[in-house]
Amino acid sequence: MKKPNILFFFTDQQRFDTIAALGNAVIKTPALDRICKAGVAFTSTYSPSPVCVPARCSMTYGQYPMHTKCYDNGADMPKDRPSFMQVLTDAGYRTHGIGKCHFMPDKHALRGFQSREVQKEVPARSSDDYTSFLEEEGWGDLPEPHGVRGEMYYVPQVSQLPQHLHPTQWVGDRSVAFIESQEDVEEPWFLLSSYIHPHPPFAPPSPWHKLYRSFDMPLPMVPQDLESLQTFANQRQNRYKGRDQGIDNNLMRNIKAHYYACISFIDYQVGRVLDALEATGQLDNTLILLTSDHGEHLGDYECFGKRSMHDSCARIPMLAALPGRFEGGERCEKLANLVDVMPTILSAAGCDTSALTMDGIDLHDLLQGVSDRGAVYSQIGEKGEAIYTAVTERWKYAYSAPDQQEYLFDRMVDPLETRNRAGLPTTGDILKTLREQTITFFVEGGETYAAEGNQWKVYPKKDLPSDPDSGYMTQDRPGYVLDLPGYTD
């Protein structure tokens, strides 16, 4: 029998709680609901690092950041070990990637893919396949095809592109074309269908920007004493995203409306791709996966972006469907992590993994109760910038080095993480146990500068500059120069 094809949908910055079938009463996601109904939703899945490049690197190699040594968006990904795409290629799979991969330092690298159609997040002209497509369509002069960044980064907007040229539509179109091209091909295939949205700027095309109205959106989750739940990483991120000078609740609801619209437009593409899979007779022999690199605060805790141990950023959707392996519309609450993608894919493909070093486990084993995993982990940054996190069935523990602060959340009693329980007299033993467990895990994994003995190493505390305009980020297109004669000369 032919090995299963593998269709991997990957989104950027999608929260775990943005799927209608899993309890969100506002958002519309009929295609994701379809996967949930056919397969299994792993509802306690966490990112190994809620930052784009480190998370993707960990997914690609099946290893936590302490083993990849990729800690932030400017870090290089390793070249001395096989990616899961390389293992699939070596095993006879036709491997193709469409959309954002965020490979560093070379964003055009194959890293095991046989071919790619590249779409970069902040492209210069003619710098990827998508911008070349726009030029062919007469839209080559558009400086920011993914939405206007800089001061508009967290201001909801309508895409300057019509729906048929939108970056999300392009990934959907190219994914459908690839699947149709494989209809009568004997060799199994792997396709990455990767979307830049719902990463900001939140810029869905018209008329999708009207799908949700701001006055129908729920407000962010803002607990009492929220300052005690914000880390230095949150505060710095709010600053450079231009979101630390006051909260406008109408804007908050409008941001959420556009964010949801971006997800629904991705969902529309997922539906088109699934329809092509079914129309070509390949649906029943294809492993379908959907997940994201990390979430988005979306105003929760009066914070924005990622880089947080809170569930709004660190917890992600994870859906899997394949008849006989992931089926029946189940909900699995066992702890999972993005590092599980590699062993899950390779196991389903029947690949020999005996020579590979992976931190993840096959999600099928997790579903069947084969794994005795007691915790999953996450890490943001390193040394004095680091936040280390451990999640167990009952508890979440985190230590933020720049704040010299521990956090403890009771996932059963306080699932929204509204109160830090690290200082309570009743949780002292739990705190000590989780602290030692987390330190041991990271130090044995190579983070030797994280701790001294059974205590975290103390680094200098960090504070934002007192000047409220210090630390903004412009994020303009590479090489872009504003040229307005009489105004800029």
42 has a pLDDT exceeding 90: yes
* pLDDT confidence of residue 478: 79
Helix, strand, coil abundance in the chain, percent, nearest 5: 35, 15, 50
443 has a pLDDT exceeding 80: yes
- Mean pLDDT over residues 420-446, rounded? 97
Residue positions counted in the chain: 489
Structure tokens at 255: 């941001």
Beta bridge partners of 378: 389
Confidence of residue 57 (pLDDT cuts 50, 70, 90): very high
Report yes or no: 376 and 357 within 8 Å, Cβ to Cβ. no
Phi, psi of 203 (to 5 degrees): -130, 75
Which residue's structure tokens are 């004493």? 225
Structure tokens at 3: 């090995």
**Whole-angstrom distance, CA of residue 258 vs CA of residue 216:** 12
Outline where 369-469 has alpha helix (H): 428-444
1 has a pLDDT exceeding 80: no
Report yes or no: 24 and 306 within 8 Å, Cβ to Cβ. no
- Mean pLDDT over residues 463-468, rounded? 90
pLDDT tens digits for 263-299? 999 999 999 999 999 999 999 999 999 999 999 999 9
Q: Give percent above pLDDT 70 in the chain.
A: 100
* pLDDT confidence of residue 224: 93
* pLDDT confidence of residue 268: 98
- Mean pLDDT over residues 14-26, rounded? 98
Report yes or no: 75 and 51 within 8 Å, Cβ to Cβ. no
pLDDT tens digits for 371-403? 889 999 999 999 999 999 999 999 999 999 999
**Whole-angstrom distance, CA of residue 42 vs CA of residue 7:** 17
Structure tokens at 129: 């396949």
* pLDDT confidence of residue 123: 86
**Whole-angstrom distance, CA of residue 129 vs CA of residue 204:** 20
User: CA dihedral defined by 132, 136, 138, 141, rounded to 10 degrees?
Assistant: 20
* pLDDT confidence of residue 483: 87
Question: Domains of the chain, with CATH numbers?
Answer: 5-373 (3.40.720.10)
pLDDT tens digits for 222-241? 999 999 999 999 999 999 88
* pLDDT confidence of residue 172: 98
- Mean pLDDT over residues 102-128, rounded? 91
Identify the CA nearest to 317 among candidates 71, 88, 27, 5.
27
Confidence of residue 55 (pLDDT cuts 50, 70, 90): very high
Contacts of 328 (CB under 8 A, 6+ apart): 39, 40
Confidence of residue 477 (pLDDT cuts 50, 70, 90): confident
- Bin 79: left if φ > 0, else alpha if -120 < ψ < 50, else beta: alpha
- Mean pLDDT over residues 159-175, rounded? 98
* pLDDT confidence of residue 125: 80
* pLDDT confidence of residue 316: 98
Report yes or no: 410 and 395 within 8 Å, Cβ to Cβ. yes
481 has a pLDDT exceeding 90: no
What is the residue-averaged pLDDT of the chain?
A: 95
118 has a pLDDT exceeding 90: yes
Confidence of residue 475 (pLDDT cuts 50, 70, 90): confident
* pLDDT confidence of residue 141: 87
